[in-house]
Amino acid sequence: MPARFHHLPAAACALNASGRCLYPERLNPGLEQGWRCVVWLRWEADFDAFLHRAEAFDLDEEAAGLLWAKRQARLLATARSCPDFVPGGEGPVGCRRGRDMLCLDKLPACPGRCEHYRPARGDEGETHEP
């Protein structure tokens, strides 16, 4: 019996990010909290707590900014404590698996060219197909 293709590869899909499908996240952003980067979640919680303390102590913007800058330097060092951290990515976390505050490894695998397939746009707006 000859082999049958179920889906063609989707390497040129605008919703493909390192072999993971961004469609469910783009459909309902933030719905699946399990896909969020744990480092970003920790940083957000720390920043919220910092803001509450700064307001409680009635700090002005300049003093709060200086304190946050010191705290932020320490937080950057904690990014490598994530078990999924892979150095070399862009953005403040610096993880190759991170994108738009998501951990790509937690997203569903790209099934190939599916009904949500969208050709990626190039620098000049043209679509690229393999």
11-39 pLDDT, tens per residue?
788 888 888 999 999 999 989 999 999 98
Average pLDDT over residues 100-109: 91
Instruction: List, in order, residues 6 or more apart from 59 with CB less than 8 Å away.
Output: 67
**Is the model more confident about 98 or about 123?**
98
Which tokens in the block code for residue 118?
A: 């969208």
Express each pLDDT in 36-65 by its tens digit.
999 889 889 999 999 999 999 999 999 999
For the chain, the residue count is 130
Q: Minimum mean pLDDT among 1-10, 63-72, 76-85: which range? A: 1-10
| Residue carrying structure tokens 């979640």 | 41
State yes or no: pLDDT of 120 exceeds 90: no
Tokens (6 digits) for 93: 């976390």
Q: HSE of 79 in the Cβ direction (CA atoms, 13 Å)?
A: 23
* Between 116 and 122, the higher pLDDT residue: 116
Q: Report pLDDT for 103.
A: 93
Q: What is the pTM of this model?
A: 0.71
- 8 A C-beta contact, residue 130 and residue 13: no
pLDDT at 53: 93
- Determine which helix (DSSP H) or strand (DSSP E) holds 110, and give its type and residue range: none
E-only strand ranges, the chain: 16-17, 20-21, 98-99, 102-103
Q: Per-residue b/e over 23-39, b at no fewer than 16 CB within 10 Å?
A: bebeeeeeeeeebbbbb
